[in-house]
Structure 1
């Protein structure tokens, strides 16, 4: 009986893995339909074309681009060889043969595809029932028996379990594979679904039997950070466990894996390095202009959790290896980690949202506006109140609808009140208007004795400003500054529907409600969005963000008041902080405390970097999240430095749409104890 159950479980897992092929080909068709790459044959393998989200289209584009890059290099290097072949393991409904055949790129080449018999049988039926595909086969060759479902002059489709080494070897030999010919082996998210002993055996088998070959693999890495945990949970729910992640959690481990299994050379890049290092800037601009897009955090995290690997056997194949990236945004920075980890504790309040704005109204009072949550986007405002029994949330009733807005700013003003500015409802619709809000003078209510919902009234007034206003924007910053006895709101950076990044700065004179020009000396920091600014000595300190190329920044600059206006000064920090964006920041004395965000570095996730603005030094602190029962994702979140006896950060909201793995929200606020670094 136990043996029977094991067989049933194995069959169930195999069926689930086969199901990933169906989902993958639909996503590939979507990306091709939107112009990310050219492939008119994929559509013949789906019943209906479905449009995926831009984030998924980009993800499948970079996968397609990486594999195609390796295929093209292989065909170029072997163009003078009398024979060459492509062996695709777990090929699914891939269309590489038809695409290359149509491009007349298969001169003296044969494509072999191996997959589960059920998958190959379905693919063969689709090919035979479709005139376009069937006409690209050689009809004069006799059909081979056994597990060969399609046999043509340059294409053989085999139905064999890749784990069955002897069967694969026998079937390939019978189908005409030349073991001595230059061979490209493709494996796109295939081996990781096998138990590691089997995937290791496949890698070792290929190095043993194909002496002149190149192995190309695309798979996942980094299972232990928040994104990696969500990624693993997704595949577990699909009954498709990612086995290889445990023994081979990063690119270095994957490289050691291949070198230890008989391969002579190996290069492994995560997809951020591939996209930024081996895809031309012109091609990146083309791709990034195809659809409205504002999921940068999820895009970079997805790319950091997948890799493309090439391993070679034989002197000829060494020429086909991926080129090492000359200047990697990952490897050029190394976190200066402290041995101290900062404690993170959950706050027992139900509060979630992405793209919200927060501001500290008074000690123990935090106003939150906008954002999106599981209930969708809406003009929702909340107040978090701190009492003797801890934090609680209170609903807000605004006198004027603030509208739907994400990635906006809420800035406390020196004379009281809060300015809400900018944001968007979608990547094509910036939210216009500037609002001044005040809490009801009556103050927040006492905790209710019943289940009645407590609310606070919010007085909202749309401010009509004179002068030339900034272009609409989101992912910007808005900070209170002062110069020559006057208070200003300084708006810097951001992006909008027509500009991928903005580098301008605007001053709103608060007492006159007038957008005015103020003399600013020195070179301004480069254009950016998703950065941070903090009030500092009458001016602002700017840190991080994403630049025009979509690469994180790690620079620090200060806008200082002068006799004439303001002046920019760049602060050279040593060691340089690892570039990041979508973080938050606070100034405490002469220290800039930068929290969370997204970086492209492979070593962990951002915690807190402490930058001393006087000594111009920095230290990275990791976060101890062992008491947080969910994956804590610190981007698209808010943070406030609460005014209490103990220095403490309150982090609210955050999370993201994790590629095709579902949307994740931090369900409760958390606190970070800063005493170890400020004491």
Structure 2
């Protein structure tokens, strides 16, 4: 009796998991429909399989676009390479409500080809019902045949389309059902699995891969799945599917591209090529197509886009005659080369900043003074206890003891509240001065300038609403434990820069006078700006200062730090590619002069990092790269010799995924330690992850 009960409970659990997996189909088809409606790809048939359409965020539209392009590339390559065959087959495993057959049929691509689709019986029955009730789909399908019996797994059948309802985990039933449906094992066959096998436990998915290689002597297996489970984005991704009761089983055993390749080579496949979606985007899509994508709708979530693409791959494993005609064949000179960081063996530890009070959402710590208010910021998602947000602007009011934090975006939109972090011995306290809102901007700059004030420049409310005002935030230097701020708008004369965000703004001195130097960024018209501007601070005048030398590439989300009377710019995102250049702006007799610093080894291109100069060393913290596995830690560049070294960050003391992009940072303790505030963002369709607390990063191992 106990064994029967256990078997019953096991069946119930498996049924619940299968139902959850089937639910991913319903969500996916709505997202595909959204992307098609916005022009990412053409598919008139998706709307026949959704009850109600919904407009998804641009990031999700892009994610389903790159998936569709990668799968379509493999399908078209297969059909082209087998066009001389009298018969070829497409076998879609876990097809769901995919419209593959109808697109190929209307496009005239199915000459001599038969499409077989397999999914759970309930899913197949639902799909057949939707097809049968749509006159347009029935007309494309043509004459249909009835199943041999009422209990046959063949749900719908025509001359070139077979819909089969069977559980993929039961290989014996799968093979017999496919043969009943007319599958010919000797025919050149493409097997397609789009995020299907990973929902099966590894023993079953491995058995299916082995089964397919043994059954089809001339075939190719195309698979689209996830990668990199252990970095911060991967941890958020895994948690999302766990909450849906749809565990990604393959991730832990096959965490990277090489492991995925070996997964197939060990099970009878002769060749296997695997590329992530960043590689596919840059290597297989034309510049014209990438430019078209950029024009479809306003978009500014590049970090999340590149992270999503680094966590998905397209794989093509082949055997037999198809081995000599690979569907995925990266060019020898890859635009996105796979680089390996020159990593030091030393780790840089981070620890969570102790804050008072510990209550979530509380803003004020009981600091004295009428200028400090106590406000609950939980509604904005930017409560002081967590300071959780991205695109923040930060600046030191008193180095090492008080940090101004402005703007940014949280879970519930942009934050207008200004906050001050104040160090009080072993803990930090947070104050929110009244009347110091900056209008809810993000990706702006806050630059300390002479006279106990900061200049706030640029930023945006949305990609179509850049900030146009230049603000001054001043404070009373005699009250470091009771900050009193005042905010005013600067009335600047001269020719102002076009509104921008994701730029840099640095304090420079020229002929004894102070200037704010603004470089690069994004605008509503330009993906990456190349211009620079000088704001003469004593007169609040935009003016010209002579600058010579080779102009740096257009970029945004780069870093800029004062250095040796000029500044140093590092990294950034160009038109679409991360940059690895380090550029110095050096004082010259009549003004300044650009000079590129060659680093050895070359630093891996990155953007959305922060940077600090400590002596003659430039320290880059975090960011996003797409040329290497893992996530950026800390790069240290010797500005005298050009020597560089990468350091990994030890996050064992941080209980949550630490995402170091779109964050802010300030030096502490004479440059031995860095305070990191905010960071994170929207993780594709997996939810939003924001670092809930500031952390400190110990630079000592990299500096000693």
**Band the TM-score falls in, shorter-chain normalisation:** over 0.9
Q: d(CA) in 1 for partners of 2:338 and 2:14?
A: 44
Q: Report 1:577-596 matches (<5 A).
A: 577-596=603-622
Partner of 1:452: none
CA drift of 1:132 comes to: 1.2
Q: Report 1:2-41 matches (<5 A).
A: 2-41=6-45
Any conservation in 1 of the 2:445–2:504 contact (CA below 8 Å)? yes
Any conservation in 1 of the 2:144–2:156 contact (CA below 8 Å)? no
CA drift of 1:443 comes to: 2.2
Q: Which range moved further: 621-630 or 603-612?
A: 603-612
Q: Which range moved further: 461-470 or 81-90?
A: 461-470
Any conservation in 1 of the 2:519–2:532 contact (CA below 8 Å)? yes
Q: Report 1:161-180 matches (<5 A).
A: 161-180=167-186
Q: Which range moved further: 309-318 or 272-281?
A: 309-318
Q: When the two structures are aligned, how many residues end up with a matched partner?
A: 667
Partner of 2:391: 355
Any conservation in 1 of the 2:402–2:480 contact (CA below 8 Å)? no
Q: In the alignment, which of 671, 676, 679 is matched to residue 701 of structure 2?
A: 676
Matched, 1:384 2:421: yes
Q: In the alignment, which of 224, 230, 243 is matched to residue 224 of structure 1?
A: 230
Any conservation in 2 of the 1:372–1:406 contact (CA below 8 Å)? yes
Q: d(CA) in 1 for partners of 2:252 and 2:292?
A: 37
Partner of 2:637: 611
Q: d(CA) in 2 for partners of 1:317 and 1:340?
A: 44
CA drift of 1:2 comes to: 1.6
Partner of 1:134: 138
Any conservation in 1 of the 2:508–2:565 contact (CA below 8 Å)? yes
Partner of 2:89: 85
Any conservation in 1 of the 2:144–2:157 contact (CA below 8 Å)? no
Partner of 1:365: 402
Any conservation in 1 of the 2:269–2:318 contact (CA below 8 Å)? yes
CA drift of 1:601 comes to: 3.4
Q: In the alignment, which of 45, 51, 57 is matched to residue 55 of structure 2?
A: 51
Check 1:239–1:674 CA distance in 2 against 1; reply closer, same or farther (3 A cut).
Answer: same
Partner of 2:381: none
Matched, 1:483 2:510: yes
Partner of 1:432: 468
CA drift of 1:140 comes to: 5.5
Q: d(CA) in 2 for partners of 1:475 and 1:236?
A: 35
Q: d(CA) in 2 for partners of 1:187 and 1:203?
A: 11
Any conservation in 2 of the 1:572–1:616 contact (CA below 8 Å)? yes
Q: Secondary structure at the match of 1:398?
A: coil
Partner of 1:422: 458
CA drift of 1:274 comes to: 0.3
Q: d(CA) in 2 for partners of 1:190 and 1:515?
A: 58
Q: d(CA) in 1 for partners of 2:304 and 2:144?
A: 49
Q: Which range moved further: 343-352 or 94-103?
A: 343-352
Q: Secondary structure at the match of 2:572?
A: strand
Q: Which range moved further: 523-532 or 132-141?
A: 132-141
CA drift of 1:375 comes to: 3.9
Q: d(CA) in 1 for partners of 2:36 and 2:105?
A: 18
Matched, 1:628 2:654: yes
Matched, 1:286 2:292: yes
Matched, 1:513 2:549: no
Q: In the alignment, which of 533, 536, 549 is matched to residue 563 of structure 2?
A: 536
Q: d(CA) in 2 for partners of 1:544 and 1:572?
A: 13
Q: Secondary structure at the match of 2:321?
A: coil
Question: What TM-score, normalized by structure 1, do the two folds share?
Answer: 0.97
Partner of 1:264: 270
- Give per-residue Cα distances to partners, 1:648-674, cap 9 Å, x unaligned: 100000111000000111010000111
Instruction: Report runs of 4+ in structure 1 exceeding 4 Å deviation.
Output: none
CA drift of 1:387 comes to: 1.3
Q: d(CA) in 2 for partners of 1:588 and 1:307?
A: 39
Q: d(CA) in 2 for partners of 1:126 and 1:156?
A: 15
Q: d(CA) in 2 for partners of 1:316 and 1:583?
A: 44
Q: In the alignment, which of 107, 114, 121 is matched to residue 117 of structure 1?
A: 121
Q: Report 1:317-356 matches (<5 A).
A: 317-328=323-334, 330-349=336-355, 350=385, 351-356=387-392
CA drift of 1:463 comes to: 0.7
CA drift of 1:676 comes to: 1.4
Any conservation in 1 of the 2:220–2:322 contact (CA below 8 Å)? no
Matched, 1:185 2:210: no
- Give per-residue Cα distances to partners, 1:539-585, cap 9 Å, x unaligned: 1100000011x111111000011110000000000001111100000
Question: What TM-score, normalized by structure 2, do the two folds share?
Answer: 0.93
- Give per-residue Cα distances to partners, 1:233-275, cap 9 Å, x unaligned: 0000000000000110000110111111111111000000000
CA drift of 1:439 comes to: 1.6
Partner of 1:276: 282
CA drift of 1:417 comes to: 1.1
Partner of 1:453: none
- Give per-residue Cα distances to partners, 1:415-438, cap 9 Å, x unaligned: 431000000001110011101111
CA drift of 1:138 comes to: 2.5
- Give per-residue Cα distances to partners, 1:479-533, cap 9 Å, x unaligned: 0011221211110000011111101111111112111111111001100000000
CA drift of 1:461 comes to: 1.5
Q: d(CA) in 1 for partners of 2:38 and 2:550?
A: 40
Q: d(CA) in 1 for partners of 2:408 and 2:199?
A: 37
Any conservation in 1 of the 2:338–2:628 contact (CA below 8 Å)? no
Q: In the alignment, which of 637, 654, 678 is matched to residue 653 of structure 1?
A: 678
Any conservation in 2 of the 1:116–1:159 contact (CA below 8 Å)? yes
Q: d(CA) in 1 for partners of 2:333 and 2:26?
A: 37
Q: d(CA) in 1 for partners of 2:480 and 2:59?
A: 41
Partner of 1:207: 213
Q: Secondary structure at the match of 2:627?
A: coil
Q: RMSD in angstroms over aligned alpha carbons?
A: 1.3
CA drift of 1:470 comes to: 0.6
Q: In the alignment, which of 59, 71, 92 is matched to residue 67 of structure 1?
A: 71
Q: Secondary structure at the match of 2:484?
A: strand
CA drift of 1:141 comes to: 3.7
Any conservation in 2 of the 1:330–1:602 contact (CA below 8 Å)? no
- Give per-residue Cα distances to partners, 1:70-97, cap 9 Å, x unaligned: 0011111111110001000000000000
Q: d(CA) in 2 for partners of 1:332 and 1:92?
A: 34
